[in-house]
């Protein structure tokens, strides 16, 4: 989240510098100098990496691609398409900033959706320790069975089941929590290329090359292939005689809406899926760690 916020702020500042007349080749060095004197407080380490790559002779797009996470690789692809097509760089950076704000809203929504499953994990994961505590409060010694091999086996099996269940449930939650990507950038890249007055075929080739060079995993290259979604939109706009760039931007917005809906469905399913490791592992662990030792202690005391 912090890296994405840094990328958004720096892209917006870069757009402002471009509109202020700073040459594109000097924008990121200017941002680095501002960070060094405290004028721009976000992302100084990223800016230093970009400046080091520029000083080593890399072009701006390559330097951005090596700056950090996937958001920087998308920005690198967009920068390359804009430079090579002649599209306005400031507008490209604005477009990137808007998509990053959309990602931030999705992340906030995801945190809300994951609150329920996380609370369920915490509640059920507390049962085994609570069972041990209740045994002590009721006057039993839950550690007494450890004096026998059977007691060791029960406690060890309970501990393994407990750790496995918590780790399994946590992995399910983390997998969804760490799913960050901006949908629709395959449409955005072609729209940027067409904004430079290029042809559809040239914009497609440029988008594919830029995404490939930047290793932009958020750009789905299959959408740019023959028969892909982007090609379909281009063909439909051409056959209808409608404006191509607005059609591409609408499809990018639709793709983001679909990604948001898919996230909400996945979060709803997660509320049920986390019950599987909790029921298979954590609840049996509660019985083995909290109930069985107490019963063994009572049985041992009576015998």
Instruction: Work out whether the CA dihedral 279, 283, 288, 292 comes out positive or negative.
Output: negative
Among 22-26, 134-138, 237-241, which is the least confidently predicted range? 134-138
Neighbours of 263 (CB within 10 A): 17
Both tokens of residue 37?
A: 């004197």
Provide the residue range defining the domain that includes 140.
102-303
> What's the total number of domains in the chain?
1
39 pLDDT exceeds 60? Answer: no
Does residue 3 sit within a domain?
Answer: no
180 pLDDT exceeds 80? Answer: no
pLDDT at 77: 92
Please give the average per-residue pLDDT across 216-228, as a whole number: 85
Does residue 140 sit within a domain?
Answer: yes
Write down the H helix ranges in 196-241: 200-214, 229-240
Does residue 42 sit within a domain?
Answer: no
Both tokens of residue 146?
A: 């450890």
Summary mean pLDDT of the chain = 80
Please give the average per-residue pLDDT across 91-103, as a whole number: 83
**Separation between Cα atoms, residue 150 and residue 88, nearest integer Å:** 74
Among 92-106, 143-157, 186-200, 230-244, which is the least confidently predicted range? 143-157
Does residue 134 sit within a domain?
Answer: yes
Among 116-125, 159-168, 171-180, which is the least confidently predicted range? 171-180
* Number of residues that this document lists for the chain: 303
pLDDT at 43: 56
**Separation between Cα atoms, residue 28 and residue 34, nearest integer Å:** 10
278-302 tens-digit pLDDT: 888 888 887 887 777 767 766 654 3
pLDDT at 40: 46
Does residue 210 sit within a domain?
Answer: yes
Please give the average per-residue pLDDT across 189-213, as a whole number: 86
Percent pLDDT > 70 in the chain is 87
Please give the average per-residue pLDDT across 227-239, as a whole number: 85
More confident residue, 111 or 94: 94
pTM of the model: 0.72
146 pLDDT exceeds 70? Answer: no
pLDDT at 236: 85
User: Which residues make Cβ contacts (< 8 Å) with residue 154, sequence separation at least 6?
Assistant: 145, 288, 292, 293, 296
User: Which residues make Cβ contacts (< 8 Å) with residue 93, sequence separation at least 6?
Assistant: 11, 12, 14, 15, 18, 75, 78
pLDDT at 210: 92
Does residue 73 sit within a domain?
Answer: no
Does residue 40 sit within a domain?
Answer: no
Does residue 2 sit within a domain?
Answer: no
């Amino acid at each position: 989240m912090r890296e994405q916020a840094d990328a958004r702020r720096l892209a917006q500042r870069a757009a402002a510098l471009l509109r202020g007349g700073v040459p594109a080749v000097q924008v990121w060095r200017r941002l680095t100098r501002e960070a060094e004197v405290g004028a721009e407080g976000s992302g100084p380490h990223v800016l230093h990496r970009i400046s080091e790559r520029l000083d080593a002779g890399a072009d701006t797009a390559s330097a951005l691609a090596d700056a950090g996470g996937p958001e920087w690789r998308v920005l690198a692809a967009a920068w390359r398409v804009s430079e090579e097509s002649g599209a306005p760089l400031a507008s490209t950076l604005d477009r990137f900033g808007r998509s990053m704000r959309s990602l931030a809203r999705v992340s906030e929504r995801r945190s809300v959706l994951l609150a329920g499953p996380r609370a369920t994990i915490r509640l059920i994961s507390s049962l085994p320790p609570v069972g041990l505590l209740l045994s002590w409060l009721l006057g039993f010694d839950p550690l007494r069975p450890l004096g026998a091999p059977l007691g060791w086996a029960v406690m060890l099996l309970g501990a393994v089941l407990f750790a496995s269940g918590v780790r399994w449930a946590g992995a399910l939650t983390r997998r969804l929590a760490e799913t960050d990507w901006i949908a629709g950038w395959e449409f955005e890249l072609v729209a940027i290329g067409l904004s430079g007055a290029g042809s559809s075929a040239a914009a497609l080739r440029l988008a594919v090359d830029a995404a490939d060079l930047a290793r932009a995993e958020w750009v789905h290259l299959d959408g740019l292939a023959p028969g892909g979604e982007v090609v379909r939109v281009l063909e439909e706009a051409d056959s209808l005689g409608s404006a191509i760039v607005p059609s591409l931007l609408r499809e990018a917005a639709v793709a983001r809406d679909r990604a948001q809906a898919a996230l909400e469905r996945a979060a709803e399913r997660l509320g049920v899926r986390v019950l599987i490791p909790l029921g298979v592992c954590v609840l049996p662990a509660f019985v083995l760690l909290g109930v069985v030792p107490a019963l063994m202690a009572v049985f041992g005391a009576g015998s």
